Amino acid sequence: MDNISFDDFEKVDIRIGTVVSAEVPEWSHWVMKLKVDFGPEIGEKQCFSGIMKFYKPEELLGKQFPFVINLEPRKMGPEREASEAMMIMAAPGDNLPEEEMEDVAPVLFQLQNKVADGTKVR
């Protein structure tokens, strides 16, 4: 693993957002399309997350999670929709062989208390 400088880490903008809609695109069997509210300063962003195998869209609605919001948008699916944020989660299967990794559910980080959408994670 390569170390990064503290200055590099400070460039990562991690914010708390509330999932306001969640659906499975017609073209996908593993990706969920989320609309996330990051408050009035940032607004809503669209995020695609490969968690469909383990979570249902309705399980995420109204819940807050941390997201990286300043990555370059990534085009997803046949319509090339932009994924504008990345949901942060734990991947407990990373130490397993690749064929077994996809059977281990990622652990979503949920807040113990509600905070304002757009709250910065430090």
Per-residue model confidence (pLDDT) at position 73: 93
Locate 80 and state its tokens: 């090339």
Show the CA angle centred on residue 89, arms to residues 46 and 115, nearest 5°: 70
Per-residue model confidence (pLDDT) at position 103: 76
Q: What is the mean pLDDT of each run of 10 residues along the chain (122 residues)?
A: 90 97 90 97 95 93 97 90 94 70 84 96 90
Domains assigned to the chain = 6-108 (2.40.50.140)
- Alpha-helical regions (H) of the chain: 6-10, 39-42, 57-60, 98-101
In angstroms, rounded to a whole number, what is the distance separating the alpha carbons of residues 107 and 66?
12
pTM of the predicted structure, to 2 decimals: 0.89
Per-residue model confidence (pLDDT) at position 78: 85
